[in-house]
Chains A and B, each alone.
Chain A
Amino acid sequence: MSETKEAPAVGEGRPILELSGLTMRFGGVVAINGLDLTINQGEIFALIGPNGAGKTTVFNVVTGVYRPTEGSVGFSGHRIDGKKRFAVTKLGVARTFQNVRLFHNMTARENVMVGADAHHRTGFVGAALGLPWHRREERDGRAKAKELLDFVGVSHRMEESAKNLPYGDQRRLEIARALATDPKLLLLDEPAAGMNPAEKIELQDLIKRIRDTGRTVLLIEHDMSLVMGISDRIAVLDFGQKIAEGLPAEVQNNARVIEAYLGAPADAS
């Protein structure tokens, strides 16, 4: 297994997410089969593979949507498989979705504030009585939302309903909402899907800026130029198994990867 390529953030090389022997079965279907994967702090790690390879299932297991059939998920020293979804988020794992799943009828700002609320302490009494710390948290939440919308470049549409935003902005809004939960690890599920080339370049820049704030990014993506352009390391899944892992250049020339993608035996290519 290769070492991380230059990762500018602190804690280089320290593992933040460790999947070991991860298996996920749905009835007779094996979505993930004995997957071992280590993501290091501060890197951009891409998970690629043909459709149905189990990439999104990995995300779902990591974020607590599914409890793995076998194996474990370790996140910065905690074991998080089987934990509740919101508890996983609070520990510092946030994600976006393959099909945008915003709160469509809430404004962009409100969407982000829901994420920011993950770390707010105000309870029902504080909110009902309008106590000072509640007001402070609301103020902080609003400011944080504004800041993050600036960061992803959607703040000019802050007060619009999420569903009225153009598709590319919805994708970026989803990233802002995830960032609002202050994640150590951000999971992006096909963030470039449906984006035009100009937007993809912006997105590439955005992902790098997220990494530069000290967060780790785990990315599922089909757009190879984007993946090769920003990833520090790449793992390739096929039928729920890891068939390759390493630096972008290594993966690109891996015979098994070419076979999985082109569907031809390696020697025939």
Chain B
Amino acid sequence: MKTNESTRERTNGSPTVTNGRPSFAALTPRARDLAGRLPAALRAPGLPLAFPFAVLGLVADLFRDWWGRQTGYVRWAIYGLLIVGALLLPSEQVGGFMSPYSDWAQLLFFPIGGYILLAIGLNVVVGQAGLLDLGYVAFFAIGGYTMAVFGTKFGWSFWEILVLGVLLSALSGVILGAPTLRLRGDYLAIVTLGFGEIIRIAARNTDYIGGPNGISGIPHPPTLSEWTVPESEPFTTLGLAGIAPLKYGALDGRPYYYLMLAAIVVTIIFVKRLESSRVGRAWASIREDEDAAELMGVPTFKFKLAAFAIGAAIGGAAGVIYGSQATSIIPRNYEFIISATILAAVVLGGSGNLPGVMLGAFLVAWIPERIRGLQEYRILVFGGVLVLLMIFRPEGLLPSRRRKAELAEGTGGMGSLGAEVGGPTTHAAAEVGK
């Protein structure tokens, strides 16, 4: 079943498939197609700028093809390597290059890790269900304030609050979604934009939660283990010696990074499973043609509401984890710019495709920090990079193939029968040819 699933993408347009596994001959046209795109990209105006994007697209497509051919074992091996790589990431050697201006471990936790988790959550709403949410920061804020209030005023532990924060933000997603999800497109975007602002302004004006000064003295998560990475090879070379990965102190950002990493991995597993189940199919069908989906028995409102709640829950989890490290939070941490940045991460990474979205979030979080040396020009440069990306790769860095097609159609896939669809005549010819 796994192989069937995986060969699916590739078999599009290449009819030479034997026993569900593509023969080598079937690959050639695809490879030719990929190679054929390069000269076109070379002729494009602004060549030096376009070139890296063309190469990136080519590499991404080749990798996707390769990935589609791999068996379960190879895939698990790659997942394993990725996790090991992620565990090694806080190493000082890596940090020296990646973050010469600020504390790399801290950066990895937030914004990088935090943005990745938020982007995964927003991707459920925007990329999967196709609902434009401009107020996603609200759920991040609700998670953060849950951590702050229950940690400082009620003395709950981090783990209890994590559960509570996820539930509360999911609930707020439902409360926001229930009346508003009947709206479509732009109207929904405006309402969510308002919601994001309402939460922040309400927090600023509520004395119980500190008003504009926010809440400080938020407790860290309890230490799970004092275990420390030994000061010996290979850890010394890797730059990881002396970390206590499960001891959440005030100074070392690395344990928090590992906590965030664990949250990200768990979230990916859940989200990926949803995506490949009836839930993901229902979301995709809603995105493509909501009316047809409902007439095929998809309770569209319920599934849209669920997408909202799931996205909100993930945002809330990110908020709780962030709050537990930050020690203090203020309403100004939760401005609209976060919603916009996470949305930018989703869109430029490749809406709907998890690796793409994560890459997008990483870049959006990392680039401004990496170019901190440019001082006041850094946001200008960052904006320039975003503009270039959208010019040369409007479908995102690593789009899902389905989503890419939808964008190319420009209609969300509804009802249009373009010229590429064979009419009766072409079909008759094909019928004879068989």
- A-side interface residues toward B, CB under 8 Å? 63-65, 84-86, 89-90, 94-95, 97, 99-107, 109-110, 113-115, 117-120, 122, 124, 127-130, 134, 137-139, 141-142, 159-161, 163-170, 177-178, 181, 194-196, 198-199
Contact = CB atoms under 8 A, between A and B. Distances in A.
A194 B274 CA distance: 38
Given A122-B278, A181-B297, A196-B424, A130 B430 contact: no
Given A105-B288, A124-B306, A139-B1, A194 B424 contact: yes
B299 interface: yes
B281 A117 contact: yes
A164 B422 CA distance: 8
B393 to A, nearest CB: 19
A161 B294 CA distance: 20
Contacts of B409: 104
Interface string B392-434: 0000000000110110010001110110111111111011000
A220 B432 CA distance: 29
A268 B111 CA distance: 82
B413 A104 contact: yes
A161 B12 contact: yes
B157 interface: no
B295 A63 contact: yes
B424 A86 contact: no
Contacts of B285: 103, 106, 114
A115 B409 CA distance: 24
B293 interface: yes
B292 interface: yes
12 contacts: A84-B299, A97-B292, A101-B289, A101-B292, A104-B413, A106-B402, A114-B282, A118-B296, A118-B298, A196-B425, A196-B427, A196-B428
Nearest to B303: A124
Given A128-B274, A163-B420, A163-B421, A94 B427 contact: no
Contacts of B8: 107, 109, 159
Nearest to B294: A85
Contacts of B431: 198
Given A127-B278, A161-B12, A195 B295 contact: no
Most chain-B CB neighbours within 10 Å: which of A163, A165, A195, A198?
Answer: A163
A28 to B, nearest CB: 25
A170 B288 contact: no
A160 B427 CA distance: 16
B291 interface: yes
Contact of A95 (B295, B413, B414): B295
Interface residues of B, number: 52
Contact of A159 (B12, B270, B288, B418): B12
Contact of B426 (A129, A141, A166, A199): A166
Most chain-B CB neighbours within 10 Å: which of A85, A102, A169?
Answer: A85
Contacts of A130: 273
Interface string B102-142: 00000000000000000000000000000000000000000
B306 A86 contact: no
B424 A106 contact: no
B427 A141 contact: no
A106 B274 contact: no
Contacts of B72: none
Given A105-B288, A105-B406, A166-B426, A122 B296 contact: no
A107 B12 CA distance: 9
B415 A101 contact: yes
Contacts of B191: none
B424 A127 contact: no
A93 B123 CA distance: 34
Given A105-B406, A105-B413, A181 B423 contact: no
B11 interface: yes
Contact of B421 (A127, A170, A196, A198): A170
Contacts of A105: 284, 288, 402-403, 405-406, 413
Nearest to B297: A118
A128 B281 contact: no
B20 to A, nearest CB: 9
Contacts of B7: 159
Given A101-B415, A103-B289, A128-B274, A166 B421 contact: yes
